[in-house]
A and B are shown apart, each in its own frame.
Chain A
Amino acid sequence: MASDNKPKAVDPAFTKSVVDAGADTVTLCFQCGTCTGSCPSGRVTAFRTRVMMRRVQLGFKDDVLPSDELWLCTTCASCDERCPRGVKITDIIMTLRNMAVREGYMAEAHKNTARSLMKTGHAIPLGDAFRKLRETLGLDGEPPTVLTDKEGLEEIKKIVKATGFDKLVG
């Protein structure tokens, strides 16, 4: 959902839940904009890191959790290394994304990446062309990871079940 100019409900409990989830430094932000000035993504989109921090402070939950902007951060960490207030911005964005996913806001493309991990132990598949190239290079066609280690792959499946990740992704 792109942000618009309509007033949104303020939810102080949202700010508290972000703080309680360990992202307490968000309260330290004094809106200088150093983060926005450092942000590679903000250079090419309307995503403004500073605004996101303010929205969290004010409890604008519906402007944050369902937003596309939340997912435009590359986690490059330029911002939090420069923030004069020691706000752990990348970490806060991670906290917000985890909350968004738990509320059901997860893009289909991301669900597919997550499903690949749960099924194969890897984020991407191995195609025939690459299997052949590996062989040409003198490597095993399939790398000696959980792709060939059946027990290892079972372990991955048990882990994602134990953490509840399988249910979360659906």
Chain B
Amino acid sequence: MAEYALFLGCIMPLRYPGIETATMEVAKALEMDMEVLEGTSCCPAPGVFRSFDRNTWLALGARNLALAEEKGTQIVTVCNGCFGSLWEVADLIEKDEKKKEYANSILKEIGKQYNGGVKVRQLAEILYTEIGLDAIAAKVTNKLDYMKAAVHYGCHYFKPDIVKKIDNRERPKTLDELLEVTGATSVDYRHKNMCCGAGGGVRSRAKEVAQAMTDQKLEAMKESGANCIVDICPFCHLQFDQGQSGLGTSFPVIHLSQLYVMAFGLDEAINGFEAHTVPVKF
């Protein structure tokens, strides 16, 4: 199997499939050896299923990891939820023998086993550390200098930063730099590092509370003079894309993979922007 296995998850393939096609095309353009990891389920989502029952969360996560282990590949996610769950399940199993034993006692029932060692990555972090800004810049044929983007990192990308060591939680820069390499500007705004509001099962249980958090971010984006939102997570993406009618804003919401499709001059039809509530136009 390929070096990188794209983990699909739920929101991307089922709500914003353009992120899926965009990710595969961008990987191809950057000569990354990447295939879709087949037979997976929900990661399972960290906010809901870990909240309900950690054992089930661990066992289902371990099954997804076992699929990557069988293929001898690393997992690439383009969703902070999937990244958060799979990274944490892998980390727990690595560090806690009891958790590993429990996970395998359940996997035994389905004739599977997870021995550990599968690397779980976020595409943004691979682009930043392995592919590099220079190689990305070399692919940019369409300067996106008309974009003034409010970047939204999302929580589970770099937190907990003490163990993840991807970026600085108080002053992150990887996504800003990954954006600006396209010629776009990253605008500074209040609440830049704040949660989108959707996580932790809040969107499904108390939608108005999730929306109130989103509104705080949108207000701040408005003040900053941004003309779009750039994210690295389909769930944050959905929260921003579907949550703008109340304030009457119309920031196009663009995932990093979709942004690179635009910057690399690839066929923009693959971005699947027709799934977006807010039209992507400038």
Shortest distance from the beta carbon of A104 to any chain B beta carbon, whole Å:
12
> Which of B34-42, B138-146, B173-181 makes up part of the contact surface?
B34-42
- Are B42 and A122 within 8 A (Cβ)? yes
- Are A71 and B109 within 8 A (Cβ)? no
> Which of A3-11, A26-34, A53-61, A141-149 makes up part of the contact surface?
A141-149
Is A44 at the interface (CB under 8 A from chain B)?
A: yes
Interface mask (B1-37 → A, CB under 8 Å = 1, otherwise 0): 0000000101101110110110000000000000010
Is A103 at the interface (CB under 8 A from chain B)?
A: no
- Are B52 and A145 within 8 A (Cβ)? no
Complex CA distance for A135 and B243, rounded to whole angstroms? 27
Which B residue sits closest to A149, measured CB to CB?
A: B39
**A159/B56 contact (C-beta < 8 A), A110-B204, A117-B42 known:** yes
- Are A44 and B209 within 8 A (Cβ)? yes
- Are B275 and A101 within 8 A (Cβ)? no
**A169/B52 contact (C-beta < 8 A), A74-B199, A146-B39, A158-B109 known:** yes
**A163/B59 contact (C-beta < 8 A), A74-B202, A121-B42, A158-B110 known:** yes
Which A residue sits closest to B196, measured CB to CB?
A: A74
Q: Please, which residues of chain A bring their CB within 8 A of the CB of B266? A: none
- Chain B 34-71 residues near chain A, CB threshold 8 A: 36, 38-42, 44-56, 59-60, 63
Shortest distance from the beta carbon of A88 to any chain B beta carbon, whole Å:
9
Partner of A145, one of B38, B106, B159, B197: B38
- Are A137 and B52 within 8 A (Cβ)? no
Complex CA distance for A106 and B48, rounded to whole angstroms? 11
Complex CA distance for A139 and B39, rounded to whole angstroms? 16
- Are A123 and B10 within 8 A (Cβ)? yes
Interface mask (A2-45 → B, CB under 8 Å = 1, otherwise 0): 00000000000000000000000000000000000000110111
Complex CA distance for A133 and B156, rounded to whole angstroms? 28
- Are B63 and A107 within 8 A (Cβ)? no
- Are B48 and A123 within 8 A (Cβ)? yes
Q: Please, which residues of chain B bring their CB within 8 A of the CB of A44? A: 209, 212-213, 216
- Are A109 and B204 within 8 A (Cβ)? yes
- Chain A 112-170 residues near chain B, CB threshold 8 A: 113-114, 117, 121-126, 130, 133-134, 136-139, 143-146, 149, 152-156, 158-160, 162-163, 165, 168-169
- Are A81 and B160 within 8 A (Cβ)? yes
**A76/B155 contact (C-beta < 8 A), A114-B52, A156-B41, A163-B106 known:** yes
- Are B44 and A76 within 8 A (Cβ)? no
Partner of A75, one of B18, B155, B272: B155
Number of interface residues of A (CB under 8 A): 58
Is A67 at the interface (CB under 8 A from chain B)?
A: no
- Are B17 and A76 within 8 A (Cβ)? no
**A71/B17 contact (C-beta < 8 A), A43-B213, A81-B162, A159-B56 known:** no
Which A residue sits closest to B161, measured CB to CB?
A: A81
Q: Please, which residues of chain A bring their CB within 8 A of the CB of B155? A: 74-78
Q: Please, which residues of chain A bring their CB within 8 A of the CB of B44? A: 117, 123
- Are A98 and B54 within 8 A (Cβ)? yes
Is B200 at the interface (CB under 8 A from chain A)?
A: yes
Is B198 at the interface (CB under 8 A from chain A)?
A: yes
Shortest distance from the beta carbon of A133 to any chain B beta carbon, whole Å:
6
- Are B39 and A152 within 8 A (Cβ)? yes
Complex CA distance for A113 and B195, rounded to whole angstroms? 21
Q: Please, which residues of chain B bring their CB within 8 A of the CB of A160? A: 56, 60
Is B247 at the interface (CB under 8 A from chain A)?
A: no
Which 7 residue pairs across A and B have the least CB separation, nearest first?
Answer: A44-B212, A121-B41, A76-B195, A143-B13, A75-B200, A74-B200, A74-B199
10 contacts between A and B (CB under 8 A): A44-B209, A44-B213, A75-B155, A113-B204, A123-B44, A126-B14, A133-B17, A146-B40, A156-B63, A165-B56
